[in-house]
Amino acid sequence: MRVSVIGCGHLGTSHAAAMAELGHDVIGVEQDPEKCRALAAGRAPFFETGLDELLAKHTAGGRLRFSTELAAAADHAELHFVAVGTPLRPDGQGYDVDQVVGAVRSLVPLLHRPCTIVGKSTVTVGTVTRLQAIVDQLANVPGVELVWNPEFLREGHAVIDTLKPDRILAGLSSTAARKALEEVYAPILARGEAQLIITDPATAEVAKSAANACLAAKISFANAMAEVCELTGADVAEVTRVLGIDPRIGPLGMRPGIGYGGGCLPKDLAAFTHRVKELGAVRAAGLLDAVEAVNQGRLEAAVELVERAAGGTLDGVRVGLLGAAFKAGTSDVRDSPALRLADRLHLRGATVVIHDPQALPYAQRALPLAQYRETALEAAADADLLVIGTEWPEYVANPQLPSAAAIMVRRLVLVDVRTAVDPAPWSAAGWSVWQLGRPVSRPTVPPATAAPAG
């Protein structure tokens, strides 16, 4: 099928590459000329597992092209995916939908044959009705269909989540739109692994917002239990393990820590909460507000934990911070909890020296006041405290790191705000390990190279 993907950021680039992998003839439209140049050369302007390989394969093979021009998409495609951004408005009162409205307004008058517009961006309920009115008003040809097909991919797994989704959700209102959607996803549907859910646009919009709110709520529930554990001496890692064995709860998406961040959960929860309040659903709004309040509280809890581990003050303390990305597997630092923590530690007088395996240039731009190093051990050099800010396997599953970092630091104190490391190998290498919602793990051998602390 001839398809276009309009807006080639984190979602659109992965989607365009995956559509080419499914066998479609794809044109990606990206308005930012610098990003577009990188994409046309077969490189993503950010790190996403497996994406560069797919881009290189299909740009070289000719099944994937990029342009800055919407007219190129209108000429080429019978189905147009819209994957532009929906950031939160600066006042926090819902999404800024200018990119979505702008893309649809600009594309529709250019269309000169029947085709289907498939929205993938996350929008609040009611947006599709507004966009349908724009399509009805501006289409110059009959048969321009509008479908909303929310995306559930996770960054760090974007390629695999797109090629092997667990569900394909579409809000639509015509047989022609349904046929187009079934055709574009035919290679996935033929495998019989993904559920296709065809519904009305409002249900699709609410289901996407509800999914992210539910994921955020599960994380906040674990973090609320971490708060209880901190006051009782209980261990939140064990508590969540016990809960996760129950199939009605499940173990995934319940890791406690500094709270959720990234380009999706924080802004999607805020926009949904705003819409829910507009609609007058007061009890739903109360629940969503509580989810966000718990999340904000975890940043405070993390700052206090680092301060306690430092001996009561952060003034003049050198912190080696491992991780800047909002989670492992991505270079994305949008709303990154690790960088929020770095900022707060700096405000309290600490010098913060950061390493990240993929996100360094993005972090440097987002938080210039910190210092940056090319390796984890360089970030650890002379540190009074080492902090795990992002749960990269390089940090949390690296058996060499506890002993290698031990000879770099001034004090053997590890603070893991992601509750991701197994304290045993660190304690065996002489470290005190401080984690949110868990008792402190003391060194199990006397440290050879540095004074014990904590």
Ligand X SMILES: NC(=O)c1ccc[n+]([C@@H]2O[C@H](COP(=O)([O-])OP(=O)(O)OC[C@H]3O[C@@H](n4cnc5c(N)ncnc54)[C@H](O)[C@@H]3O)[C@@H](O)[C@H]2O)c1
Ligand Y SMILES: O=c1ccn([C@@H]2O[C@H](COP(=O)(O)OP(=O)(O)O[C@H]3O[C@H](CO)[C@@H](O)[C@H](O)[C@H]3O)[C@@H](O)[C@H]2O)c(=O)[nH]1
Task: Name the site residues for ligand Y (rule: CB under 6 A).
Answer: 122, 151-155, 212, 215, 219, 253-255, 257, 260-262, 264-265, 268, 326-327, 337
* Residue placing its CB nearer to ligand X in the complex, 181 or 225: 181
| Shortest CB 35 distance to ligand X, Å | 6
The Cβ of residue 412 has, within 10 Å, a number of other Cβ atoms equal to 26
Which residues is 82 bridged to in the sheet? 6, 119
| Residue 86 is a binding residue for ligand X (CB under 6 A) | yes
Q: Which residues are annotated as a binding site for substrate?
A: 152-155, 208, 261, 327
Cα–Cα distance, 44 to 37 (Å, whole number):
10
121 binds ligand X (CB under 6 A): yes
32 makes contact with ligand X (CB under 6 A): yes
- The listed partner (ligand X, ligand Y, none) that binds 32, CB under 5 to 8 Å by sort, is ligand X
With binding defined as CB under 6 A, does residue 275 bind ligand X?
no
Residue 5 φ/ψ, nearest 5 degrees = -125, 115
257 binds, among ligand Y, ligand X, none (CB under 5 to 8 A by kind): ligand Y
Per the annotation, binding residues for NAD(+) are 35, 86, 122, 155, 267, 334
Binding partner at 29 among ligand X, ligand Y, none, C-beta below 5 to 8 Å by kind? ligand X
Within 10 angstroms of residue 154's Cβ, the number of other Cβ atoms is 15
Q: Which residues are annotated binding-site positions?
A: 35, 86, 122, 152-155, 208, 261, 267, 327, 334
Q: Which residues are catalytic?
A: 264
Tell me the CA distances in angstroms from 191 to 187, 196, 363, one per residue in order: 7, 12, 40
Cβ–Cβ < 8 Å for 343, 314: no
Q: Is 7 in the site for ligand X (CB under 6 A)?
A: yes
Q: In 164-281, which ranges are continuous DSSP H helix?
A: 175-184, 186-189, 201-232, 236-245, 265-279
Contact between residue 105 and residue 66 where contact means Cβ atoms under 8 Å apart: no
List all residues 6 or more positions away from 288 whose beta carbon is below 8 Å from its beta carbon. 213, 269, 272, 273, 276
Chosen from ligand X, ligand Y, none, partner binding at 99 (C-beta under 5 to 8 Å by type): ligand X
- Taking the least distance from each CB to ligand X, the nearer of 32 and 289 is 32
Q: Which of 29, 206, 276, 321 binds ligand X (CB under 6 A)?
A: 29
DSSP per-residue codes, 365-431: HH-TTSEE-SSHHHHHTT-SEEEE-S--HHHHT-TTHHHHHHTT-SB-EEEETTS-S-HHHHHHTT-
Is 102 a binding residue for ligand X by CB under 6 A? The answer is: yes
Write the Ramachandran bin of 118: left for phi over 0, alpha for psi from -120 to 50, otherwise beta: beta
CA 201 distance to own-chain centroid: 24
Question: Which residue from 30, 292, 384, 394 is in contact with ligand X, where contact means CB under 6 A?
Answer: 30
Per-residue DSSP letters for 340-358?
HHHHHHHHTT-EEEEE-TT
User: How far is it, in rounded angstroms, from Cα 374 to Cα 121?
Assistant: 35
Question: Of these partners, ligand X, ligand Y, none, which one is at the site of residue 28 (CB under 5 to 8 Å by kind)?
Answer: none
Q: Binding ligand X by CB under 6 A: which of 5, 11, 108, 341?
A: 11
Least Cβ distance, residue 419 to ligand Y (angstroms): 9
Cβ at position 253, least distance to ligand Y in Å: 5
Burial 349-373 (b: 16+ CB within 10 A, else e): ebbbbbbbbbbbebbbebbeebebb
From 59, 66, 85, 116, residue interacting with ligand X (rule: CB under 6 A): 85
Closest separation in Å from C-beta 437 to ligand Y = 12
**Residue 121's binding partner out of ligand Y, ligand X, none, with CB under 5 to 8 Å set by partner kind:** ligand X
35 contact, one of ligand Y, ligand X, none, CB 5-8 Å limit per kind: ligand X
CB of 396 to ligand X, least distance (A): 22
Helix (H) or strand (E) holding 168: strand 167-171
Nearest distance from C-beta of residue 409 to ligand Y, angstroms: 25
Nearest approach in angstroms of CB 391 to ligand Y is 7
Question: Cα(114)–Cα(152) distance, rounded to whole angstroms?
Answer: 28
Binding-site ranges for ligand X (CB under 6 A):
6-12, 29-32, 35, 83-86, 99, 102-103, 121-122, 151, 153, 155, 263-264
